[in-house]
Structure 1
Amino acid sequence: MTATSVAAVLALVPLVQSMQPLAVPPLPAPMRPLQWGQINFLHTTDTHGWHAGHLQESQYSADWGDYISFADHMRRRADDMGVDLLLVDTGDRVEGNGLYDASDPKGLYTYDIFRQQSIDVICSGNHELYQADTADREHHLTVPNFAGHYLASNLDYIDPVTGEQMPMSRKRYRTFQTKHQKLNIVAFGFLFNFTGNAANSVVQPVQQTVREPWFQYAISKEPVDLFVVIGHVGARMGELRAIYQAIRAVNPDTPIALFAGHAHVRDAVHFDDKAAAIASGRYFETIGWMSVSGVGHAQNAAVQDTAPIEFARRYIDNNLLGLYYHSGTNATTFPTDHGMNVTATIATARSNLNLEVSYGCAPQNYWLQRRPHTDPSSVFSLLRERILPEAIVRADRANVPRIVIINTGAMRFDIFRGAFTRDTTFIVSPFISLVRYIPDVPFALARQVLSILNSQGPILSAMAENTTVALANTRPGATDWREMCVPEQYSMRMENGRVSTHFGSDDASHQKPLTDQRAAVKDGADKDDTTRPPLVAGYTTQDDFGQDGDDAIHEPLPHYRLPNCIQAEVNFLAADLANASATKEPETVDLVFFDFIQRFVLAALAYIERSGSATAPVGMPYRHYTDADVESYVQGKFTDHFAEWVKQNWNDEC
Structure 2
Amino acid sequence: MLKSLGVLGGLAALLPSVVGCGDDGCYGPINRVEHVRQVKRMQPGAPNAVYGPKGPLEWGQVNFLHTTDTHGWLEGHLKEQNYGADWGDFVTFTRRMRQTAGNMGVDMLLIDTGDLHDGNGVSDATKVDGTESMPIFDEVDYDLLTIGNHELYVSEVAYQMFNEYARKWGERYVTSNVKVLNKATGRYEYVGATHRYFTTAKGLRVMAFGVLFDFTGNSNASQVLKAKDMVKEGWFTQALASSSPVDLFILFGHNPVRQSDPSSTFKTVFDAIRSAHPKTPVQIFGGHTHIRDFAVYDDAAVALESGRYCETLGWASMSGFDGANSGFRGVRNPHGVANPGRPARAGSAAPWVYSRRYLDWNRKTFVYHSSQDEETYDYHSGQRVTGDITAVRDQLKLGDVYGCAPQDWCMSCAPFTDEKNIFPGVIVPAVAAVVVNETRADKARIIVGNSGAVRFDLHKGPFTYDDNFIVSPFRDVFLYLPDVPFDKASKVITQLNKGAASKRELASMAVPRDSCTDPTLGYLSRREQREERGVVRRQEAVVPGYVTSDDWGTDG
TM-score by length of 1: 0.68
Q: Give me the whole-angstrom Cα distance separating, in 2, the residues matched to 1:299 and 1:269.
A: 24
- Which of the residues 146, 150, 173 maps onto 2:195? 173
- 1:442-481 equivalences under 5 Å are 442-455=485-498, 460=499, 480-481=500-501
1:485-529 Cα shifts (integer Å, max 9, x gaps): 8xxxxxxxxxxxxxxxxxxxxxxxxxxxxxxxxxxxxxxxxxxxx
What amino acid is the match of 2:230? Answer: T
- 1:140 is aligned to 163
- 1:124 is aligned to 147
Task: Give 1:16 shift.
Answer: 4.8
The 1:544/1:406 distance shift into structure 2, 3 A limit, reads same
Task: Give 1:114 shift.
Answer: 0.6
Query: Paired residues, what number?
Result: 462
Q: Give me the whole-angstrom Cα distance separating, in 2, the residues matched to 1:91 and 1:25.
A: 26
What amino acid is the match of 1:76? Answer: Q
- 1:188 is aligned to 209
Q: Give me the whole-angstrom Cα distance separating, in 2, the residues matched to 1:249 and 1:224.
A: 14
State whether residues 226 and 295 of structure 1, in contact with CA within 8 Å, keep that contact through their aligned partners in structure 2.
no
The 1:77/1:247 distance shift into structure 2, 3 A limit, reads same
State whether residues 81 and 542 of structure 2, in contact with CA within 8 Å, keep that contact through their aligned partners in structure 1.
no
- 1:165-564 equivalences under 5 Å are 165-169=188-192, 171-180=193-202, 182-221=203-242, 222-236=244-258, 237=261, 238-296=264-322, 308-383=351-426, 385-455=428-498, 460=499, 480-481=500-501, 484=503, 536-549=543-556
Equivalent residue of 2:174, what SS?
coil
Q: Give me the whole-angstrom Cα distance separating, in 2, the residues matched to 1:402 and 1:137.
A: 40
State whether residues 255 and 295 of structure 1, in contact with CA within 8 Å, keep that contact through their aligned partners in structure 2.
no
Q: Give me the whole-angstrom Cα distance separating, in 2, the residues matched to 1:38 and 1:300.
A: 12
Q: Give me the whole-angstrom Cα distance separating, in 2, the residues matched to 1:130 and 1:349.
A: 24
Higher share of residues assigned strand: 1
- 1:512 is aligned to none
The 1:375/1:205 distance shift into structure 2, 3 A limit, reads same
- The CA RMSD measured in Å over matched residues stands at 2.2
What amino acid is the match of 1:294? Answer: G
Q: Give me the whole-angstrom Cα distance separating, in 1, the residues matched to 2:388 and 2:459.
A: 26
Range with bigger deviation, 395-404 or 226-235 = 395-404
Equivalent residue of 2:211, what SS?
strand
Task: Give 1:109 shift.
Answer: 1.0
Task: Give 1:535 shift.
Answer: 7.7
The 1:295/1:357 distance shift into structure 2, 3 A limit, reads same
State whether residues 225 and 297 of structure 1, in contact with CA within 8 Å, keep that contact through their aligned partners in structure 2.
no
The 1:114/1:422 distance shift into structure 2, 3 A limit, reads same
The 1:104/1:300 distance shift into structure 2, 3 A limit, reads closer
Task: Give 1:432 shift.
Answer: 1.6
What amino acid is the match of 2:545? Answer: G
State whether residues 177 and 211 of structure 2, in contact with CA within 8 Å, keep that contact through their aligned partners in structure 1.
yes
- 1:45 is aligned to 68
- 1:635 is aligned to none
Task: Give 1:452 shift.
Answer: 2.3
Q: Give me the whole-angstrom Cα distance separating, in 1, the residues matched to 2:350 and 2:231.
A: 29
| Runs of 4+ displaced beyond 6 Å | 303-307
What amino acid is the match of 1:232? Answer: H
Task: Give 1:327 shift.
Answer: 1.1
The 1:150/1:22 distance shift into structure 2, 3 A limit, reads same
- 2:339 is aligned to none
Q: Give me the whole-angstrom Cα distance separating, in 1, the residues matched to 2:362 and 2:281.
A: 32
Range with bigger deviation, 216-225 or 361-370 = 216-225
Task: Give 1:451 shift.
Answer: 2.0
Highest relative contact order (Cα 8 Å, sep 6+), 1 or 2?
Answer: 2
- 1:640 is aligned to none
Task: Give 1:141 shift.
Answer: 2.0
Task: Give 1:106 shift.
Answer: 2.2
What amino acid is the match of 1:138? Answer: M
The 1:16/1:300 distance shift into structure 2, 3 A limit, reads closer
State whether residues 41 and 363 of structure 2, in contact with CA within 8 Å, keep that contact through their aligned partners in structure 1.
no
Task: Give 1:162 shift.
Answer: 3.2
Q: Give me the whole-angstrom Cα distance separating, in 1, the residues matched to 2:76 and 2:304.
A: 22
State whether residues 125 and 191 of structure 1, in contact with CA within 8 Å, keep that contact through their aligned partners in structure 2.
yes
State whether residues 234 and 261 of structure 1, in contact with CA within 8 Å, keep that contact through their aligned partners in structure 2.
yes
State whether residues 234 and 262 of structure 1, in contact with CA within 8 Å, keep that contact through their aligned partners in structure 2.
yes
Higher share of residues assigned helix: 1
Equivalent residue of 2:550, what SS?
coil
Task: Give 1:371 shift.
Answer: 0.5
Task: Give 1:311 shift.
Answer: 1.8
What amino acid is the match of 2:254? Answer: H
Q: Give me the whole-angstrom Cα distance separating, in 2, the residues matched to 1:536 and 1:293.
A: 36
Range with bigger deviation, 26-35 or 385-394 = 26-35
The 1:294/1:438 distance shift into structure 2, 3 A limit, reads same
TM-score by length of 2: 0.80
State whether residues 409 and 426 of structure 2, in contact with CA within 8 Å, keep that contact through their aligned partners in structure 1.
no
Query: Percent of pairs identical after alignment?
Result: 41
Q: Give me the whole-angstrom Cα distance separating, in 2, the residues matched to 1:318 and 1:17.
A: 13
The 1:228/1:384 distance shift into structure 2, 3 A limit, reads closer
Q: Give me the whole-angstrom Cα distance separating, in 2, the residues matched to 1:145 and 1:348.
A: 24
Task: Give 1:14 shift.
Answer: 8.7
The 1:432/1:105 distance shift into structure 2, 3 A limit, reads same
Equivalent residue of 1:289, what SS?
strand
What amino acid is the match of 2:257? Answer: A
State whether residues 177 and 225 of structure 2, in contact with CA within 8 Å, keep that contact through their aligned partners in structure 1.
yes
The 1:352/1:111 distance shift into structure 2, 3 A limit, reads same
Unaligned runs of 5+ in 2: 1-36, 333-347, 505-540
Equivalent residue of 1:59, what SS?
coil
The 1:138/1:452 distance shift into structure 2, 3 A limit, reads same
Q: Give me the whole-angstrom Cα distance separating, in 2, the residues matched to 1:440 and 1:298.
A: 75
